[in-house]
């Protein structure tokens, strides 16, 4: 860890020193404030991961700190792939938008057009995208009905989307509310959207994401986990958490639901996330008109607005609305802020719990806008 801290300090020194020669005093102040903030998180052992900050379309700060795999002692690099957890939902939302522009589906299509076996009426693709479907969460259904209920050991069979789909059909748990009546965050919706992508496109979700999203943007380090949970061993961060036992950590990277995709299941790097962010300013993936709809509040049956679009949480701010999304799964706690009105972006990829979700990213957002923020403490 000492070696990594020295490398980290040297990298920040070089980056900030270079910045001081090429940018305004205001930008220097922003970078210095971000650097001080990040160092405090590191000092209190609350950050293990990669961080990238973009201001006015330019990268102004990067930080890489900690270990990729505590068992081997492998240190993190900017090339390491992190599980995006629910941040993957924005990619599924983009894939659905691509298929809409292709004429393969419409947001108001009933999902039974593509999933006729599903025993739920009147749910549309729009309902799935906006978490207003009323469907129950597949995770709790699998927990009760999978091979060994309520046990999470590595000898269990890996579950994937097709298993979750079959369980919804077989057990038909009741809907929580009429579609469009309420908002309730639901992984089932994006799990099913992945299957709709497959049936509408004629490709697997993995193939579609690779050929229509990752490759056009140049995201060479990004991939979807296999349906059997198989993952590459190289340059992949492993999820873990501190543990006061003999090793000092607990491996929490494995879970029997690691075969899922659509609601999660994507691994990426900070560089690839930057490429994705910048691509959304053009029309490489979808038109700006389509993207604006994805960034719009959803409307309930009673006309009330919900601050969630198509894979993005919508944050209202007097300095301009922006979109964001976080995630949490198997030790990973990513957070992505896209302040697209101002050309700003913050991507935080971590493989160890340690900070409240979004806390660091939102503090950096305040620094970029000259706002107030809190420094972390040792508690």
Query: What confidence tens digit (pLDDT) does each residue in 41-100 have?
Result: 999 999 999 999 999 999 999 999 999 999 999 999 999 999 999 999 999 999 999 999
CB atoms within 10 A of CB 199: 14
pLDDT-based confidence at residue 212 (cuts at 50, 70, 90): very high
**What does the block give as tokens for 136?**
């129950």
The two tokens of residue 202 are 């004629």
Whether 363 sits among the annotated catalytic residues: the reply is no
Where does the pLDDT of residue 246 fall: very low under 50, low under 70, confident under 90, or very high at 90 and above? low
Q: From 3.30.1490.20, 3.40.50.1220, 3.40.710.10, 3.90.550.10, which CATH number describes the 2-368 domain?
A: 3.40.710.10
pLDDT > 90: what percent of the chain? 80
pLDDT of 22: 57
Task: Give the rounded percent of residues in the chain with a pLDDT score beyond 70.
Answer: 92
**What does the pLDDT average to over 202-227?**
97
Tell me: pLDDT of 33 over 80. yes
Confidence of residue 379 (pLDDT cuts 50, 70, 90): low
In the predicted model, what is the mean pLDDT of residues 284-293?
Answer: 97
Per-residue pLDDT at 251: 85
pLDDT-derived band at 366, boundaries 50, 70, 90: very high
pLDDT tens-place string over residues 4-30: 444 444 344 445 444 444 568 999 999
Residue 366 CB coordination number (10 Å): 15
Q: What is the pLDDT of residue 60?
A: 98
| Catalytic residue of the set 19, 63, 86, 298 | 86
- Answer yes or no: is pLDDT of 2 > 80: no
For the four alpha carbons of 354, 355, 356 and 358, in that order, the dihedral sign comes to negative
Distances (CA, A) of 285 to 170, 276, 280, 288, 291: 37, 9, 7, 10, 9
Q: Which of 23-27, 36-40, 231-235, 353-357 has the highest mean pLDDT?
A: 36-40
pLDDT at 248: 78
- pLDDT score, position 233: 75
Angle between helices 161-171 and 138-145 (to 10 degrees): 80
What SS3 string covers 324-342?
A: EEECCECCECCEEEEECCC
The per-residue pLDDT for 150 is 60
> 89 is written with which tokens?
């939902």
HEC assignment per residue over the chain? CHHHHHHHHHHHHHHHHHHHHHCCHHHHHHHHHHHHHHHHHHHCCCCCEEEEEEECCEEEEEEEECEEECCCCEECCCCCEEECHHHHHHHHHHHHHHHHHCCCCCCCCEHHHCCCCCCCCCCEHHHHHCCCCCCCCHHHHHHHHCCCCCCCCCCCCCCEHHHHHHHHHHHCCCCCCCCCCCCCCCHHHHHHHHHHHHHHHCCCHHHHHHHHHHHHHCCCCCEECCCCCCCCCCCECCCEEECCCCCCEEECCCCCCCECCCCCCEEECHHHHHHHHHHCCCCCCCCHHHHHHHCCCEECCCCCEECECCCCEEECCCCCCEEEEECCECCECCEEEEECCCCEEEEEEECCCCCCCCHHHHHHHHHHCCCCCCCCCCC
Average pLDDT over residues 235-248: 85
In this prediction, residue 305 carries a pLDDT of: 98
């Amino acid at each position: 860890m000492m070696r990594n801290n020295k490398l980290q300090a040297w990298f920040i020194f070089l980056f900030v020193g270079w910045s001081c020669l090429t940018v305004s005093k205001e930008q220097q102040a922003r970078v210095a404030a971000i650097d001080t903030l990040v160092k405090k998180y590191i000092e209190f052992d609350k950050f293990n991961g990669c961080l990238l900050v973009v201001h006015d379309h330019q990268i102004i700060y990067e930080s890489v700190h900690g270990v990729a795999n505590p068992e081997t002692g492998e240190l993190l690099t900017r090339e390491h792939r992190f599980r995006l957890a629910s941040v993957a939902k924005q990619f599924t939302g983009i894939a659905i938008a691509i298929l809409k522009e292709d004429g393969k589906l419409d947001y108001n299509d009933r999902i039974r057009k593509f999933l006729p076996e599903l025993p739920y009426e009147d749910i549309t693709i729009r309902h799935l995208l906006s978490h207003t479907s009323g469907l129950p969460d597949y995770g709790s259904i699998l927990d009760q009905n999978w091979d060994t209920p309520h046990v999470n050991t590595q000898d269990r069979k890996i579950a994937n989307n097709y298993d979750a789909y079959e369980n919804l059909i077989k057990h038909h748990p009741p809907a929580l509310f009429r579609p469009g009546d309420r908002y309730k965050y639901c992984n089932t919706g994006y799990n099913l959207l992945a299957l709709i992508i497959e049936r509408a496109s004629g490709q697997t979700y993995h193939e579609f994401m690779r050929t229509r999203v990752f490759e056009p943007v140049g995201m060479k380090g990004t991939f979807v986990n296999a349906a059997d949970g198989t993952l590459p061993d190289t340059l992949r961060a492993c999820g873990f958490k501190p543990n006061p036992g003999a090793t000092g950590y607990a491996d929490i990277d494995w879970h029997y639901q690691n075969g899922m995709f659509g609601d999660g299941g994507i691994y990426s790097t900070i560089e690839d996330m930057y490429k994705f962010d910048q691509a959304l300013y053009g029309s490489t993936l979808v038109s700006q008109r389509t993207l604006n709809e994805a960034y719009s509040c959803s409307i309930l049956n009673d006309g009330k607005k919900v601050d969630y679009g198509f894979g993005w949480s919508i944050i209202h701010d007097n300095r301009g609305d922006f979109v964001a999304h976080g995630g949490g799964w198997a030790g990973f706690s990513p957070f992505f802020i896209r302040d697209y009105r101002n050309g700003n972006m913050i991507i935080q990829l971590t493989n160890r719990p340690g900070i409240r979700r979004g806390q660091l990213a939102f503090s950096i957002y305040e620094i970029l806008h000259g706002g107030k923020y809190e420094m972390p403490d040792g508690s």
